Amino acid sequence: MSGKAKVAFYWCASCGGCEEAVVDLAEKILDVTAAVDIVLWPVALDFKRRDIEAMADGSITVTFLNGAIRSSEQEEMVHLLRKKSQVMIAFGSCSQLGGIPGLANLWDRQTIFQAVYKDSPSTVNAEGTTPQTSFQEDGRTATLPVFADTVRTLDQVVDVDYYIPGCAPTSKMLMDAVEALLAGKLPPKGSVLAPDKALCDECQRRDSKPEKLAIAEFKRPHEILADPEKCLLAQGLLCLGPATRGGCGALCPAGNMPCTGCYGPTSRVRDYGAKALTSLASIVDASDDETIQKVLAGIPDPIGTLYRYSLPASLLKRKVMEAKSNVD
């Protein structure tokens, strides 16, 4: 191959939306491929693990890795890619904070297998079979990766140089990162490659945000016809803008939907959900126990709402697990 910079894209526990951010570059992808060689991209190109293994350590300029880490196969691949890459970028919410798959940390392997392979009404599984890591038949052994109890963020598994937030990141963020890389203009290691300001700062509705917010009733998007100009929080919609990092261009509020927090916290915040909780609970317009609880009942799923993208990266990381055997 030529002397061009080498780039790898890889996915772990993710939905494929982050791949879409790459595809969304549209014709700009030609500029990218003109400047770099893509050496791995399972969703689009036919490179194999052995191709990566054959490369010298540190010969990949940058790996954009999306998805959280759940299985032993994912763990092996990220260790391999870390070894072969000069720069490792956690690309997207799952990789940075655990993302939607991270909500599975409210369960563990046993309860997930029970729900998916046994209890779900659409499942026919008379023998109650669940995935095994090793299975023998006719003298041959088939193996599957280990399914861990806990979903982890990329930086809980390997050293990460930069983070690009978002579910999915906008393709502009990817393009900016590639350009910064090629120009050698990267910020200090560990930085999130996005502005360090709350989303409200770039929201089109910013001027309509009242000086003092007070919410007497939380409403869900399907319950009201939201005013397209006015601050969504002021309309009682559960918008996480005040707790969330900007950089997306306030796409959801522009589409008349509240922010769900996919860009995660700003650099001053350790635990996104705790801060989101603070910003929402503090503006509840009630001062007695009963009314406060009534208003807060308008948030039916606090973890799924406030930690939607960040449970594995939170201070508690997962639900307390029952002590039990680790083997199927």
Partner 1 sequence: MSETYEPKIVAFFCNWCTYLAADLAGTSRLKYAPNTRVIRVMCSGRIDPQFVLEAFAKGADGVLIGGCHPGDCHYQEGNYKALRRYYLLKRMLREMGIEDERFRLEWISAAEGERVKVVVNDMVQKLRALGPRRVPCEAKPQAMEVMAS
Which residues lie near partner 1 (CB under 8 A)? 72, 75, 106, 109, 133-134, 146-150, 152, 156-157, 269-271, 273-275, 277-278, 280-282, 284, 286-289, 292-293, 296, 299, 302-303, 306, 314-323, 326-327
- Give whichever of 67 and 166 is closer to partner 1, judged by the CB atom: 67
- Give whichever of 30 and 115 is closer to partner 1, judged by the CB atom: 115
Burial 241-270 (b: 16+ CB within 10 A, else e): bbbbbbbbebebbeeeebbbbbbbbbeebe
Please return the burial class of 182, using the count of CB atoms within 10 Å of its CB with bins 0-12, 13-18 and 19+. Answer: middle
- Give whichever of 182 and 303 is closer to partner 1, judged by the CB atom: 303
Q: How near is the Cβ of 237 to partner 1 at its closest, in Å?
A: 17
- Give whichever of 143 and 204 is closer to partner 1, judged by the CB atom: 143
- Give whichever of 27 and 289 is closer to partner 1, judged by the CB atom: 289
- Give whichever of 89 and 306 is closer to partner 1, judged by the CB atom: 306
Q: How near is the Cβ of 169 to partner 1 at its closest, in Å?
A: 25
Q: How near is the Cβ of 268 to partner 1 at its closest, in Å?
A: 11
Can you read off the two tokens belonging to residue 139?
Answer: 């003298």
What does the alpha-carbon distance between residue 283 and residue 300 come to, in Å, rounded to a whole number? 17
Q: How near is the Cβ of 15 to partner 1 at its closest, in Å?
A: 22
Q: How near is the Cβ of 125 to partner 1 at its closest, in Å?
A: 21
Q: How near is the Cβ of 239 to partner 1 at its closest, in Å?
A: 16
C-alpha angle with apex 189: 186 to 77, nearest 5 degrees?
105
Burial 8-24 (b: 16+ CB within 10 A, else e): bbbbbbbbebbbebbeb
Q: Are 147 and 69 in contact (CB under 8 A)?
A: no
Q: How near is the Cβ of 223 to partner 1 at its closest, in Å?
A: 20
Q: How near is the Cβ of 286 to partner 1 at its closest, in Å?
A: 8
- Give whichever of 127 and 289 is closer to partner 1, judged by the CB atom: 289
134-137/140-143 β-pairing:
antiparallel
- Give whichever of 34 and 315 is closer to partner 1, judged by the CB atom: 315
Q: How near is the Cβ of 283 to partner 1 at its closest, in Å?
A: 8
- Give whichever of 182 and 277 is closer to partner 1, judged by the CB atom: 277
